Structure 1
Amino acid sequence: MLDYHFQLTRPSLDTIAGILAALFVIYSVSWIIYTRFFHPLARYPGPFWASVSRFWMVSQIRGAHADKTQRELHAHLGSIVRIAPNEVAISDPDAIKTIYGINSGFTKTDFYTPWRPAWCRYPDAFTNLDEPLHASRRRITNSLYSMSSIARAEESIDKCTAVLLEKMASFAEAKRTFDMAGWAQMYAFDVVGQLFFSHMFGCLAAGHDHRGYIRSLDLLLPILCAASVMPTYIRSLFLIGGALVQPRVMKALTSLKDIDEAAEQCIAERHAQLEQGKSGDEKDILASLFAVMREKGEKVDFGRTEVKVEVYVALFAGSDTTAAAVSSVLYHLMKSPAVYKKLTNEIDEATRAGSLSSPIQYKEAAALPYLDACIKEGMRLHPSVGLTLPRHVPAGGCQIAGAWFPEGTRVGVNAAVVHRNRDIFGNDADNFNPDRWFGPDAARMDRYMFQFGGGSRTCIGKNISLCEMYKMIPELLRAYHIELVHPEHEWTTHNYWFNKPSNVETRVTARATGT
């Protein structure tokens, strides 16, 4: 009887499996036919797999070269390229104002939600998808990140620069080479520590990432970025399932906890000091955040958790973007000897004329036209974020780049693409040429610079980044001569949202008189 029952059941299971397989094939074929021929975005060119699945974008994140791929696609396929079944990348520079302008009606997509800390009560400025809520929450702390506020903290940046220059002296004396990109990251991370907490994290002093925070970020970024471009229904399975079978995913999630704990530790230490009456002299950003909490926290619902969110975001995003920009400027200067000489001449002449103090002040550096051009050009050629900033088309649809898109469509512009537009930046747009910023089109070019985003969603840490660059770069070049060990080699970049450089092997020699 048992054998007979088994004989009846086995074909039934096979039949069910066959039906399910057939249904899957029918669904897949139907989906491909729909996305390729009947979907509202079917008329836009793009890779075949991108049109039928978001996993094409995941493969781009895995390969860490989406910026290069998108430039190639736009070069061959035009200004509108389909990069997912319901998403296009747009290279038309005028799309920046349409999509990211203030009150444009475009809203952030769910790309940003995996970056949000799970414990926050209100989304941070980066991951907030609700425009009115974003505006109201950002107003609470916006003044703390204004250029006037950051400029008042220049002494903190000067302390970090002094330690960096001491390390350069040791490299020069020992004739040791080093990766400039790695040291730019340690410098930027220590600046975050000094600005927020009145003490560096010790990366520069130790000469390495001794607390492991930078390593934690390096582990996190690829995983979170991959999750961000996946369909939402896959993300949890990817993160939880991946953690069980892939050590890298588990390490990334552990690293997320490390950043969380670092933020909590910084808050707890300062809170304990305040409770014991041992603090109050600090003029750092954390003190200002506690002051906001104390003075109007109840009115605007800004408590210790919200302070922690600000610290968490600073730890998470405060160093990679600035380090990438600094590395780009210095790398391209070293690759362009004539430009390098012209800039150092400007710095030396300003020093002799008494226009540059010691240490250099931000306003003094920002008044140097060629330094300004070099920094702009470095950020143009290598913006720190190398992916599109995806947005939803508002209700009623919208005309973008001469094409009509229905509401809900995902659209975005990639700074790494639009910054190479020849119609805006000239036929040599792929080259490092600061002189372009002295031509008649300089003001027009400036309108299309997109390295900090645009509109109300401009990066909140923009002024911190600019202050660091304009102070540190001329200080370094005034004291030392830097050059690439292998100028014939190209640097390495890995694009996991932040487009991180490495392999900028550098040697440094002291300039005896700073001239």
Structure 2
Amino acid sequence: MYNPLAKLNAILQLTPFRNLHVDPATILVTFPVIVVLAHAIPYFIDRFNQRAIPGPLLARFSDVWLGWVSSQGHRSDVVHELHNRYGAFVRIAPNHVSIADPDALQVVYAHGNGCLKSDFYDAFVSVHPDLLSTRNRADHARKRKIMAQAFSERNVSQFEPSVRQYVGQLFEKWDHLCDSASKGDSGTEGHGWVGRNGRMWVDCLPWIHYLAFDIIGDLALASPFGMITNAKDSVPVAVSQKDVMDAYGSEARYAVVDIPAVQILNDRGDFAASIGVLPPRWRPYARLLPWYHKGGAAMENLTGMAVAAIAKRLNTPTDRTDLLSKLQEGRDDEGKPMGREELTAESLTQLIAGSATISNSTCAITYHVARNPWVQEKLQKELDEALGDARVSTSEQVKHLPYLEAVINEGLRVHSTSSMGLPRVVPEGGLTVNGMHFPQGTVLSVPTYTIHRDKEVWGEDADIFRPERWFEGDRAAMQKAFNPFSFGPRSCIGRNLASMELLVIISSIFHRYDFVLAKSKQPLDTREGFLRKVLGCEVGIKRRR
């Protein structure tokens, strides 16, 4: 028979109260009262002057509301609706205000404003604090100085041949499948596809994942995973914490197994983004819940993947030029390079950021272009004139094409792979944003998803994919509100690399193939963790003649 008091006593043994001799029945009665008071008292004291700011009732008292919304995978959509209802300022947690105003970007994320990242980022630490998760200003400045050179335009240009190589590999696969599809064949190479009406009908998302993962795996971990060649989501990973530690030894001997990296990466992002909004003292207990436990396992698998790849590379000297070699060359102000753990952590972060952002942005752009045939026709005309018979474009050939740039920018605006407002802590002396003063310790964020839909900037059709808007209206206002790579000293350090990849991939794909949506009226299905992920994109693909 189920005994609630016995169950409570068992739970207490996992908490700091395990050594207290307290009757469980007493705790069962008093605990709800303590919880209510712990949340109600800070609300009424209101030391961050936020009581007058509107928002969901539960969010005013507890972080549970934001934790729940984040775990459901549509945080930015929910926050966007709140801003539509309440205005520019919305309280989304007891000490977290979301500010939906383009001018706030220049204040909250500005250079020299003293704001620091919140404890949200602690949830992303795996092997070692990296550029994303480091909150200390001096540590971050040191890391960024070392890494900035690796991502300079000059070095990124040296990575382009690798990008073009994997785009070529994808084309070899798609050409073969399109030729078979034109004959009415079907197959299951990697995943099902159907030949109908002269097209290959397939979910292109897995293939784009393979492309992005192979590119960044090669550059960041010096480990070509062969996903395109094998048409399979699979990479090696060190299988235990002992193996991880052994990998840092002189012998670097460890066992590995293959894992579905894309799925693991997605699980990790969902986990970190949802547990990160909870107070740090709650996180150890939240990890005991089944959903969070799954995400914790994903964190360990991703760590093992980076360890396995970095250990293999560092124990096999090579003269190849890639992102990892440039990171190894980097030095701080004291002339010191990154240590092995730090190098592994940074490479893992680049693997995650470089694969997820490129694959989801590419797939979203593909969806929107396929859904709007007139956009595809206009884009292909511009590409044909610039590329002629070229199989895979170079960035030099396409970097000045205005309509291609507009298509990519509009895709990054509408989809907003990085959609959520990134949290910052107000420094000593407070911060004034749009006339409202926030005291020290307040957490502020500016939601990119909502900023990218501001009708005063983008027009009444702000929710619609329409590249032509980039040639109309107030271009300065649009650039000010356009925030795909964040803003300020902690903006995306891989921006040059991401821009080059998108130019090469999008131009090459639409120059070589024609796309139609399987279901032209179906909206793009997404799920948001730390990044906004596409869940599928069913298209018909045909070689252009």
TM-score when scaled to structure 1? 0.88
Q: Distance in 2 between matches of 1:316 and 1:163?
A: 21
Q: Determine whether 1:125 maps to 2:131.
A: yes
Residue 243 of structure 2 corresponds to none
Residue 180 of structure 1 corresponds to 204
What amino acid maps onto 1:318 in structure 2?
A: G
CA gap 1:126/1:15 in 2 versus in 1, 3 angstroms: closer
What amino acid maps onto 2:70 in structure 1?
A: I
Q: Give 1:500 deviation, angstroms.
A: 0.2
Q: Determine whether 1:216 maps to 2:255.
A: no
Residue 340 of structure 1 corresponds to 376
Q: Distance in 2 between matches of 1:43 and 1:320?
A: 38
- Per-residue CA distance 1:112-156 (angstroms, 9 max, x = gap): 011012x42xx3110111122211221012110122211122110
Q: 2:346 aligns with which of 303, 310, 315?
A: 310
Q: Give 1:209 deviation, angstroms.
A: 0.3
CA gap 1:177/1:397 in 2 versus in 1, 3 angstroms: same
What amino acid maps onto 1:73 in structure 2?
A: L
What amino acid maps onto 2:282 in structure 1?
A: I
> Mapping of 1:44-193 within 5 angstroms?
44-117=53-126, 119-120=127-128, 123-173=129-179, 174=181, 175=195, 176-193=200-217
- Per-residue CA distance 1:359-401 (angstroms, 9 max, x = gap): 3111321110000001000001111122210001111111112
Residue 464 of structure 1 corresponds to 497
What amino acid maps onto 1:71 in structure 2?
A: H
Give the match's secondary structure for 1:172.
helix
Q: Give 1:231 deviation, angstroms.
A: 1.0
Q: Distance in 1 between matches of 2:347 and 2:430?
A: 38
Q: Distance in 1 between matches of 2:488 and 2:285?
A: 35
Q: Determine whether 1:194 maps to 2:223.
A: no
Q: 1:365 aligns with which of 384, 398, 405?
A: 398
Q: Give 1:181 deviation, angstroms.
A: 2.5
Q: Give 1:182 deviation, angstroms.
A: 2.5
Contact 1:36 1:51 in 2 (8 A): no
Q: 2:274 aligns with which of 219, 226, 245?
A: 226
Q: Give 1:449 deviation, angstroms.
A: 1.1
Counting aligned pairs with the same residue, the percent is: 29
What amino acid maps onto 2:316 in structure 1?
A: Q
The range that moved more, 33-42 or 453-462, is 33-42
Q: Give 1:489 deviation, angstroms.
A: 1.1
Residue 237 of structure 1 corresponds to 285
Q: Distance in 2 between matches of 1:358 and 1:331?
A: 22
Residue 43 of structure 2 corresponds to 35
Q: 1:482 aligns with which of 515, 529, 536?
A: 515
Q: Give 1:228 deviation, angstroms.
A: 0.3
Q: Give 1:315 deviation, angstroms.
A: 2.3
Q: 2:466 aligns with which of 425, 433, 441?
A: 433
Q: Distance in 1 between matches of 2:70 and 2:529?
A: 6
Residue 268 of structure 1 corresponds to 311
Q: Distance in 2 between matches of 1:421 and 1:181?
A: 29
Residue 404 of structure 1 corresponds to 437
Q: Distance in 2 between matches of 1:262 and 1:19?
A: 44
Give the match's secondary structure for 1:319.
helix
Runs (5+) with no aligned partner, structure 1? 1-12
Contact 1:36 1:52 in 2 (8 A): no
TM-score when scaled to structure 2? 0.84
Runs (5+) with no aligned partner, structure 2? 1-20, 182-194, 236-259
Q: Give 1:66 deviation, angstroms.
A: 0.8
Normalized per residue, which structure has more helix?
Answer: 1
Q: Distance in 2 between matches of 1:72 and 1:18?
A: 42
Q: Give 1:288 deviation, angstroms.
A: 2.3
Q: Distance in 1 between matches of 2:350 and 2:121?
A: 16
The range that moved more, 402-411 or 219-228, is 219-228
Q: Distance in 1 between matches of 2:333 and 2:339?
A: 6
CA gap 1:19/1:306 in 2 versus in 1, 3 angstroms: closer
Question: How many corresponding residue pairs?
Answer: 482
Contact 1:108 1:391 in 2 (8 A): yes
- Per-residue CA distance 1:88-130 (angstroms, 9 max, x = gap): 111011000001111121110000011012x42xx31101111
Q: Give 1:14 deviation, angstroms.
A: 11
Q: 2:29 aligns with which of 21, 31, 41?
A: 21
CA gap 1:301/1:148 in 2 versus in 1, 3 angstroms: closer
Contact 2:56 2:91 in 1 (8 A): yes
Contact 1:297 1:303 in 2 (8 A): no
Q: Determine whether 1:496 maps to 2:529.
A: yes
Root-mean-square deviation over aligned CA pairs = 2.2
Contact 1:326 1:473 in 2 (8 A): yes
Q: Distance in 2 between matches of 1:473 and 1:370?
A: 12
Q: Give 1:37 deviation, angstroms.
A: 7.8
Residue 323 of structure 2 corresponds to 285
CA gap 1:301/1:366 in 2 versus in 1, 3 angstroms: closer
Give the match's secondary structure for 1:494.
strand
Q: Give 1:432 deviation, angstroms.
A: 0.8
Q: Distance in 1 between matches of 2:23 and 2:221?
A: 66
